[in-house]
Amino acid sequence: MRYGATLDVESNTVSKVPTRSPILERLCVTQSLKLRPEDTSPVTVVALHRYLADSGEAQQQDDSYSYDVTLTDGVWRAKCFLHSSLNHVVHKNYLRTGTDISITQCSFVYNERRLGHGYLCIEDLTCRTDTCTVRTYDKDISALPILVKHGMERTISLQSDVPLQVSRKHYLPLWNNDDPDGEMWASEPLSENTVLDVSKITFLCNLEGQFQNLQKPFPLLVKIIHKSRLRYYGKYGLNIDYPYMTYFEVADQSGTMSLVLWNDLCPEFYQRLHEGTVLYLQNYSLKRSYLNRSRPHMDHYRMNAFNSVEICLNPRKPASVITIISPKSVLPQWGLPEISYRFITRSELNQLSNNFVCDIIGLVTFVGRVERIRCKKYWTYRWIHAVDGTSDLPLIIEMFSSSQPEIFSHICPMTYLVCTQMRLCHVNGGLPYLTSSCETRMFITGYHKGQPYVSDPKVKSFIQWTKTLKDNVILQKTTLGGYYSYPRAPKIFIQSVESASGDNDNILSEFETLQYREHKRVAIQGQIMAVQFIKRQMSDKSPCQTEEPQVVSNILWFSSLTGSGVTSWESSDWLTQKLSVSEHLHRGILYEDSISQRFMFEEKNSLLQWSNLHPARFSPEHSRDPIPPVAYPGYYRITILGVNRQLAVDAAYVPVVHPNEPCAVGLLQDPHGNTMLSCLSSGFLCPLSTDAKLEGLHVVCVLDLCHLGGDQVEVLINKVYKVTEVSLQ
């Protein structure tokens, strides 16, 4: 595929787009068009779609994905292809749904291999992130007609939920690869009243011995006792339409075995199959298991586990036949096992070994914002605190997306949370936390009905405890969103684990490559050259917002500690050192998105949208009111000069001012010298007048970076080490 013939730029420069002509209609009638920003009308982004790139062009730019953008001008909707050179505006969340853009260069691309197929390619644009014209339209955007260029009526992808690049069959989620996304993922239950002949079934225990000589296998009658997250294995050059697979653990009266759902069957069945579902399987195949793959912990079932082979369900060669049996048709004489759990309470946590696998239930009191980690692909995760009444301390939970986006995005304080197959992680000198695995499933209020765990004794005990609680009391202890980092950096900095560097290029690269909501932890060695206390301006508070007594006391305490009249400090040679600095990153700003909010039921939808990732599709409910500004006393802005004295970085530091803050949980509260350095090391507040002790002191600063979208990059100090606290192992 190539771009169509390009007309001369000079002859195609339009002096003024007529306001009476819809801009999208005008763009589509030309072969190639270039406009000045002031001469184009805005269009609104209503959807962003991501999928595996169709050509090597994106590969050369170290990005294996392409993007389709759906736009509207209030008259038409149009699906356009975003040129790969513009992918970075999506990565940084400049280009996002619900905001306006101005298209300054585009061309119409014809598919040379298919007659009547083509689309508009956006080659340059200007983002107008502060405006959204679609909010002024007095009409349903989804009801607007799709703009199709005359002669291109065969381009079905313009009007359906499939990519414009014809070799791709489906879209991916915008921010990760693990969630089902789009219309192809069937979720409605299948109503099957098939009469089954169970007299010819075989048992799982027979499959290991028959593996080598199995020609046409006998049917299986099994129950799903565990469901894992979805796995996407697509890559450039792999010619598989739906490169998905997922593991289930199934059981019959003889034992348990892994079952793998492959490719096209995942969109058809993944959201229809649940723990407790009974299946009648035909035309399956067997293969050797991958011994090194992760598996759910199943010891508490006390059943035979047949791990040497696994059942494969394929869309073809052979085409497997999957029959979902209605619960009312399941007979006791089939001997299918009951689903079992291993719930533990917070009071039991400290006595359990590291990597212990368990299930938990708790009342959510804190939910962190959704962040991303880049590995071979992006993972999305959030931190959660939950209480269960057995301890004054909460369960600290690191929850990665588990292919349950409808649940993951709706976790909020005051909900009952159940997480299965969680792994325990002990922290040296801190509180243990639980992290999810590929096998974790989660459930919140509204999804518990009919789940097998509702009859578990510890679940029943938890429900009885919640009946003794008063909502208004618990609400005072709930928070949502904002900066949260756990576990904190260790007492001793190990240079082999986190490389401390003042190298200009390395640090700059970390900032430049950071993408939307990506979290990184970096370290820089050097000197602290300046400290400034930035007092929050309270005048921008919402008129209807009143300070809570606890917040007022925190502010008074904060003010008393900084009330010596000293609001800033600079090293004696900072003015001289500034002259040799080649790059100064002025990132020491505390953004509203960095501060957690008190949870309120009346603001629930707005708070959830604020703490989640930006949506891939615009809808009226995403037009949330601004979040009321939160009350906080202020923060420190710290200037760090790299050891090579070529790079300076401004970072924000927010000390913990009350033990009820989410960041205070698990924070060591050992007494310290009440100096600025000990405050930066411990996380607790201290007077600013002690800053002079930083003069000439070499330190290692551990920084938490998070891209908040657009130009906002959060840079917060996690911990500061003296040289004597650094290990060179």
In a domain, 482, yes or no: no
CA nearest to 440, candidates 486, 398, 390: 398
Assess whether 570 and 664 both reside in one domain. Answer: yes
Assess whether 544 and 601 both reside in one domain. Answer: yes
Cis peptide bond N-terminal to 318, omega within 30: yes
| Contact in structure between 700 and 523 (CB atoms under 8 Å) | yes
The residue from 448, 477, 506 where one domain ends is 477
Residues with Cβ < 8 Å from 283, sequence gap 6 or more?
217, 318, 319, 320, 321
Lowest mean pLDDT among 44-53, 213-222, 383-392, 460-469: 213-222
Question: Contacts for 121-126 with beta carbons within 8 Å, 24 or more apart?
Answer: 121/3, 121/80, 121/81, 121/82, 121/83, 122/69, 122/80, 122/81, 122/82, 122/83, 122/86, 123/83, 123/85, 123/86, 124/34, 124/83, 124/86, 125/86, 125/89, 125/95, 125/101, 126/37, 126/101, 126/102
pLDDT tens for 327-350 read: 999 999 999 999 999 999 999 999
Residue 259 has pLDDT above 50, yes or no: yes
Residues with Cβ < 8 Å from 310, sequence gap 6 or more?
257, 258, 259, 260, 286, 287, 288, 289
pLDDT at 192: 62
Assess whether 147 and 217 both reside in one domain. Answer: no
In a domain, 4, yes or no: no
Lowest mean pLDDT among 158-172, 251-265, 349-363, 619-633: 619-633
Lowest mean pLDDT among 108-117, 291-300, 573-582, 644-653: 108-117
- Domains held by the chain: number: 4
Assess whether 152 and 207 both reside in one domain. Answer: no
**How much is the average pLDDT of 146-160?**
74
In a domain, 1, yes or no: no
Residue 624 has pLDDT above 70, yes or no: no
Strand 13-14 relative to strand 32-35, pairing = parallel
Lowest mean pLDDT among 467-476, 535-544, 602-611, 657-666: 535-544
In a domain, 186, yes or no: no
**How much is the average pLDDT of 576-599?**
92
**Domain span at 95:** 10-158
Residue 540 has pLDDT above 60, yes or no: no
Residue 562 has pLDDT above 80, yes or no: no
Residues with Cβ < 8 Å from 76, sequence gap 6 or more?
22, 24, 25, 144, 145, 146, 147
pLDDT tens for 393-447 read: 999 999 999 999 999 999 999 999 999 999 999 998 889 999 999 999 999 999 9
pLDDT tens for 375-396 read: 767 899 999 999 999 999 999 9
Dist. CA 228–CA 207, nearest whole Å: 22
**How much is the average pLDDT of 451-461?**
96
Assess whether 314 and 358 both reside in one domain. Answer: no
Average pLDDT value over all residues in the chain: 85
pLDDT at 11: 32
In a domain, 529, yes or no: yes
Residue 157 has pLDDT above 80, yes or no: no
Assess whether 567 and 703 both reside in one domain. Answer: yes
Assess whether 570 and 717 both reside in one domain. Answer: yes
pLDDT at 379: 93
pLDDT at 727: 82
Lowest mean pLDDT among 213-217, 251-255, 518-522, 562-566: 562-566
**Using DSSP, how many helices (H) and how many strands (E) does the chain show?**
13, 33
**DSSP letters spanning 586-652:** ------GGGS-EE--GGGHHHHHHHHSPPPSB--GGG-PPPPPPPP--EEEEEEEEETTSSEEEEEE
Residues of the chain with pLDDT > 70: what percent? 84
pLDDT tens for 14-38 read: 333 334 457 888 887 778 888 877 7
pLDDT at 145: 87
In a domain, 632, yes or no: yes
| Number of CB atoms found within 10 A of residue 379's CB | 16
Assess whether 150 and 237 both reside in one domain. Answer: no
Cis peptide bond N-terminal to 163, omega within 30: no
Lowest mean pLDDT among 188-197, 484-493, 530-539: 188-197
Dist. CA 356–CA 481, nearest whole Å: 28
Kindly report the length of the chain.
729
Q: What is the CA radius of gyration of the chain?
A: 29
Dist. CA 371–CA 709, nearest whole Å: 12
Residue 704, CA distances (Å) to 133, 484, 595, 651 in order: 36, 10, 14, 9
Dist. CA 711–CA 705, nearest whole Å: 13
Q: Is the pLDDT higher at 654 or at 505?
A: 654
Dist. CA 15–CA 125, nearest whole Å: 17
In a domain, 87, yes or no: yes
In a domain, 383, yes or no: yes
Q: What angle do CA 626, 710, 367 make, to 5 degrees?
A: 55
First to last CA, the chain: 54
Handedness of CA 456, 458, 459, 465 (dihedral sign): positive
Q: Where are the beta strands (DSSP E) in 167-304?
A: 220-227, 231-232, 244-252, 255-262, 278-282, 285-288
Residue 51 has pLDDT above 90, yes or no: yes
Assess whether 528 and 670 both reside in one domain. Answer: yes
Dist. CA 425–CA 199, nearest whole Å: 47
Lowest mean pLDDT among 9-23, 33-47, 79-93: 9-23
Q: In this structure, what token pair is assigned to residue 657? A: 């001012």
Assess whether 549 and 626 both reside in one domain. Answer: yes
Q: Is the pLDDT higher at 129 or at 528?
A: 528
HSE-up of residue 658 (Cα within 13 Å, Cβ side): 16
Residue 268 has pLDDT above 80, yes or no: yes
- CATH number of 96's domain: 2.40.50.140
Q: In this structure, what token pair is assigned to residue 242? A: 């739906």
Residues with Cβ < 8 Å from 693, sequence gap 6 or more?
675, 676, 677
Assess whether 213 and 99 both reside in one domain. Answer: no
The residue from 334, 367, 393 where one domain ends is 334
Q: Which residue has the tokens 């970075």?
A: 88
The residue from 414, 443, 477 where one domain ends is 477
Assess whether 549 and 629 both reside in one domain. Answer: yes
Q: Is the pLDDT higher at 162 or at 20?
A: 162
Strand partners, 705: 520, 715
Q: In this structure, what token pair is assigned to residue 389? A: 């009444």
